[in-house]
């Protein structure tokens, strides 16, 4: 008999004379004549109630059907007489697939998020994390759908790279050299020419530069994959390994880039509202009571656009005391970004034209020689959710930018070739997948939207 998922069983239009359900026991209640099992298989938030009659030959197996045990049940899907569910299963056979003893840590009681992070191999079986990772799966699909429907080509950027796209130096080194006895050059430094790749290599911080290569051949491309930052930051918003979505568009200026980014954010929210309603209701009830209103807030309102200079003036004149002071030439902090979206404009905001000193080398220099064509999309509750720019397509200006940032022309010769051979205006942005998940679910810590979080001092599983 073909297995029926709990989701499909609960969504059935009619009763079914013979059904096979398999999953894990959430709860069991025993009475004199019956036992009631709640079975969940991860296909949806709700469990399926199974009634096991004490007269069944398999009834002695019920004693082994403890919380966490896996079971296989055949029976009839019938209308439920109890409140809270439309359908239930009247069991005809019950088999215990795998037992779970009393040490199973997910008993029916409250658990802290800190405790659940310690058992990341079991937390997907909880209601909260089941909902989080179903939304994560759906959003990943929605991302591919958004770009594929618009003719973008999906590019797999390398995980191991020799370039530091952002220039921040927060890189994980990849090496096969013996740390106790590395080969040395004449000056006493480590001789990386003898390393596996013949040079210093790292885990990537961004697939952007490689995406530019493909945008200059396919016009519209996107990458979606893991990126890494060796930043010793223990905050609720930072992880050492996270996923990024990075589209790159040829023949596109900053305005077109902002149009796509704003459309993208709205499309993802619209998709999760349409396809994850049950999970979102759970989040709005138990995680963030204002979640649905905030998601609809972004969906229903057009994005306001303002320059970085205007944003700084607004913040300086606000009369509000911030933890971080505001002045032209400094990065906007999360508290500043949230003030702009939540209190001043009262809508999502796209800030553009940032000072060149605080942005990477590849961003296009504006005519004022003070700012670059950078943009950040800000949303309420989170702050920055997208960061991007128009890229510098002029060879001479790019070379000057690289010299100002102390970058080697030799190391980036391939990148410069894109400007030598058929250069075009092009733009792109990056959206942090986990940041988007935090916004979509209301979950406040990035560690709780990643299956296995990698943070300073933590690399379990």
SS (H, E, C) 27-38: EEEECCCEEEEE
Rounded distance, CA 27 to CA 10, Å? 18
- Beta strand 34-40 with 371-379 is unpaired
Q: Could you tell me which of 345, 359, 343 has the C-alpha nearest to residue 404? A: 359
User: What pLDDT score was predicted for residue 270?
Assistant: 98
Among residues 292, 271, 270, 272, the alpha carbon closest in space to that of 281 is found at 292
- Cα end-to-end distance, the chain, whole Å: 35
C-alpha torsion sign, points 327, 330, 333, 337? positive
Distance CA 159, CA 244 (A): 12
Answering whether pTM is above 0.85, one says yes
The runs of H, that is alpha helices, within 149-227 are: 208-218
Contacts of 147 (CB under 8 A, 6+ apart): 154, 220, 222, 247
Return per-residue pLDDT of the chain as tens, 461 residues.
999 999 999 999 999 999 999 999 999 999 999 999 999 999 999 999 999 999 999 999 999 999 999 999 999 999 998 777 899 999 999 999 999 999 999 988 888 999 999 999 999 999 999 999 999 999 999 999 999 999 999 999 999 998 766 655 689 999 999 999 999 999 989 999 999 999 999 999 999 999 999 999 999 999 999 999 998 888 888 899 999 999 999 999 999 999 999 999 999 999 999 999 999 999 999 999 999 999 999 999 999 999 999 999 999 999 899 999 999 999 999 999 999 999 999 999 999 999 999 999 999 999 999 999 999 999 988 889 999 999 999 999 999 999 998 888 988 999 999 999 999 999 999 999 999 999 999 999 999 999 999 999 989 88
Please tell me the predicted confidence (pLDDT) of residue 372: 97
Produce one character per residue of 272-286: b if its CB has 16 or more CB atoms within 10 Å, e if not: beebbeebbebbbee
pLDDT for position 166: 62
Contacts of 428 by beta carbon, 8 Å cutoff, 6+ apart: 208, 211, 212, 215, 246, 247, 248, 249, 257, 388, 389, 391
Question: Rounded distance, CA 315 to CA 129, Å?
Answer: 37
Yes or no: say if 198 and 209 are a contact pair by the CB < 8 Å rule: no
| Contact present, 18 and 4 (Cβ < 8 Å) | no
Which pLDDT belongs to residue 168? 58
Give CA separation, 221 vs 147, 210, 250, in Å.
Answer: 8, 10, 9
Phi, psi of 377, deg, nearest 5:
-95, 125
Count of other CB atoms within 10 angstroms of residue 309 = 17
């Amino acid at each position: 008999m073909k297995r029926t998922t709990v989701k499909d069983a609960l969504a059935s239009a009619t009763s079914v004379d013979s059904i096979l359900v398999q999953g894990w026991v959430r709860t069991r209640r025993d009475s004199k004549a019956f036992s009631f099992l709640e079975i969940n298989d991860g296909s949806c938030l709700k469990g399926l109630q199974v009634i096991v009659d004490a007269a069944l030959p398999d009834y002695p197996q019920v004693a082994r059907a403890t919380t966490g045990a896996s079971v296989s049940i055949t029976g009839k899907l019938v209308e439920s007489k109890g409140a809270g569910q439309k359908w239930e299963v009247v069991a005809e056979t019950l088999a215990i697939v795998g037992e779970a003893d009393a040490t199973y840590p997910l008993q029916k009681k409250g658990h802290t998020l800190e405790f659940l992070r310690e058992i990341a191999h079991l937390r997907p079986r909880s209601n909260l994390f089941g909902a989080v990772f179903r939304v994560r799966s759906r959003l990943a699909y929605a991302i591919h759908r958004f770009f594929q429907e618009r003719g973008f080509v999906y590019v797999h950027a390398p995980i191991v790279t020799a370039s530091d796209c952002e220039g921040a130096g927060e890189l994980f080194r990849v090496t096969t050299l013996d740390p106790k006895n590395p080969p040395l050059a004449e000056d006493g430094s480590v001789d990386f020419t003898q390393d596996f790749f013949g040079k210093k290599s790292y885990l990537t911080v961004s697939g952007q530069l490689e995406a530019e290569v493909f945008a200059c051949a396919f016009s519209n491309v996107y990458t979606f994959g893991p990126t890494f930052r060796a930043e010793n930051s223990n905050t609720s918003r930072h992880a050492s390994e996270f996923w990024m979505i990075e589209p790159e568009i040829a023949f596109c200026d900053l305005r077109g880039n902002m149009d796509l980014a704003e459309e993208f954010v709205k499309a993802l929210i619209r998709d999760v509202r349409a396809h994850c309603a049950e999970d979102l209701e759970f989040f709005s009830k138990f995680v963030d009571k204002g979640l649905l209103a905030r998601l609809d807030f972004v969906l229903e309102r057009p994005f306001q656009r303002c320059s970085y200079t205007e944003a700084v003036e607004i913040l300086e004149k606000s009369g509000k005391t911030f933890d971080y002071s505001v002045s032209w030439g400094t990065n906007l902090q999360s508290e500043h970004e949230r003030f702009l979206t939540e209190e001043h404009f009262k809508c999502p905001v796209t800030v553009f034209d940032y000072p060149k000193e605080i942005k990477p080398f590849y961003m296009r220099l504006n005519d004022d020689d003070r700012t670059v064509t950078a943009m950040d999309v800000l949303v309420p509750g989170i702050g920055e959710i997208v960061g991007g720019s128009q890229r510098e397509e002029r060879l001479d200006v790019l070379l000057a930018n690289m010299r100002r940032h102390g970058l080697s022309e030799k190391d980036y010769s391939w990148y410069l070739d894109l400007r030598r051979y058929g250069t075009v205006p092009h733009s792109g942005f990056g959206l942090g997948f986990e940041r988007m998940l935090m916004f979509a679910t209301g979950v406040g810590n990035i560690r709780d939207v990643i299956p296995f979080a990698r943070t300073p001092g933590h690399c379990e599983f």
